[in-house]
Amino acid sequence: MPIVIITKNMIKSKPVLSLYLKLAIFGGVAIAASLVLPFSISIFYVATGVPCPACGMSRAFMRFFRGDLFGALFYHPLFFLIPLIPLLAYSRMPKKARNIGWLAIGCLFLAVWIIRLILFFPHTAPMIYNENSLFELLRRVLR
Ligand SMILES: [Zn+2]
């Protein structure tokens, strides 16, 4: 297995730190909101009732920070990719290579989302159907 060593010269460190800070703030707010609010913060989930490709990410990080790696992987198998985003965004790789990286991450999220929908939707958290979604409310009104 190849070992990738990221050196200081491979990334633009100032914008990377700034993006890490923004991700940490966003993640902290998302986790706090998911603990306090009685509804999901996922716009896709609230609108359609179907969990989005990122649903479960807050719970995955909460499990991870408690030292429960398997719980984290259960709630979102790709949670460990999030800390790599700033490195990819501000790497000194050629733009074409970075775009291939974004495409690979996007395809991976899509594939994992479809697999999680097949295996766990609508019965197992975090892939539970939202019976109070806007789609569901509209469906009940129009019936
Ligand atoms: Zn979501």
- The token pair at 129 is 């159907």
Whether the per-residue pLDDT at 7 is higher than 90: the answer is: no
Residue 15 pLDDT class (50, 70, 90 cuts): confident
Tell how far the Cα of 110 is from the centroid of ligand 1, in angstroms: 13
Tell how far the Cα of 16 is from the centroid of ligand 1, in angstroms: 25
Whether the per-residue pLDDT at 116 is higher than 90: the answer is: yes
- The token pair at 127 is 């892939």
The residues pairing with 91 across neighbouring beta strands, listed in sequence order, are 11
CA angle 33, 65, 40 (to 5 degrees): 25
pLDDT at 133: 97
Question: How many alpha carbons fall within 13 Å on the CB side of residue 10?
Answer: 9
In whole angstroms, give the CA distance from residue 46 to residue 50.
8
Tell how far the Cα of 54 is from the centroid of ligand 1, in angstroms: 5
Ion ligand 1 — residues with CB < 5 Å: 42, 45, 52, 54-55
Q: Which residue has the higher pLDDT, 27 or 133?
A: 133
Whether the per-residue pLDDT at 30 is higher than 80: the answer is: yes
In whole angstroms, give the CA distance from residue 138 to residue 54.
24
Share the mean pLDDT of the chain: 92
Whether the per-residue pLDDT at 2 is higher than 70: the answer is: no
Tell how far the Cα of 44 is from the centroid of ligand 1, in angstroms: 6
Residues 6+ apart with CB under 8 A from 74: 60, 63
Tell how far the Cα of 131 is from the centroid of ligand 1, in angstroms: 15
Instruction: For residues 27-40, give the mean pLDDT.
Output: 90
Question: How many percent of the chain have pLDDT more than 70?
Answer: 94
Whether the per-residue pLDDT at 140 is higher than 70: the answer is: yes
